[in-house]
Amino acid sequence: MINSNNTKITTIILATILIFAIIAVGIYFLPYYKNKREAQLISKIKKSNSIFTTKILEEFNKDKNIKASNAARKVAAELNAVSKNLFNKDEQAYVFDTACTLCNSVDYNDDLSMVVLTVYDKNGELLSRTVIKPPSFVTYVKGDE
């Protein structure tokens, strides 16, 4: 005859081992999934920056006398109509607020004919910055370091 107390204890021990094994596997693979998710985000940011940069340079090439503010507002309006914020789908993709986080922040300087596109994460860490001064641009994206 099998002792029911031994069966209960064995079941509890096996369940405990199984729970710890699941937790250990989760902890082991968590950095992998976190890094993969961040790499996907960085890839989306690069694509977004590339589209914005191309459009801004097109505007400067079409009209050599266009102000940076007009070009930036025109491109932002055009892209906001067809794209969403990478971090919050309910907000615009491009905003004119240098203090924003989790958004593509557009700034410009008409005196220098320069447009700057900046992206910060929720902790305020710089993810990307693109400085566009025709005929060229300079870009920094986290992960390209």
Report the alpha-carbon distance of residue 30 to residue 36 in Å, rounded.
10
Predicted local distance difference test score (pLDDT) of residue 40: 83
Predicted local distance difference test score (pLDDT) of residue 130: 87
Percent with pLDDT over 70 in the chain: 93
The answer to whether the CB of 127 falls within 8 A of the CB of 142 is yes
Predicted local distance difference test score (pLDDT) of residue 115: 92
The residue whose two tokens read 């971090």 is 87
Report the greatest alpha carbon distance in the chain. 95
Q: Beta-strand (E) ranges in the chain?
A: 94-95, 104-109, 114-120, 126-133, 136-141
Q: Which of 100, 99, 106, 120 is nearest to 78 (CA)?
A: 106
Band (7; pLDDT cuts 50, 70, 90): confident
Give me the amino acid identity at 100.
C
Q: How many angstroms from the chain centroid is the CA of residue 21?
A: 33
Q: Which of 35, 123, 112 is nearest to 71 (CA)?
A: 112
Those residues with Cβ within 8 angstroms of residue 33's Cβ, 6 or more apart along the chain or in another chain? none
Those residues with Cβ within 8 angstroms of residue 121's Cβ, 6 or more apart along the chain or in another chain? 101, 102, 127
Over residues 84-140, the pLDDT tens digits come to 887 777 788 888 876 677 778 899 999 988 999 988 877 778 888 888 888 888 888
Mean per-residue pLDDT, 70-91: 87
Band (1; pLDDT cuts 50, 70, 90): very low
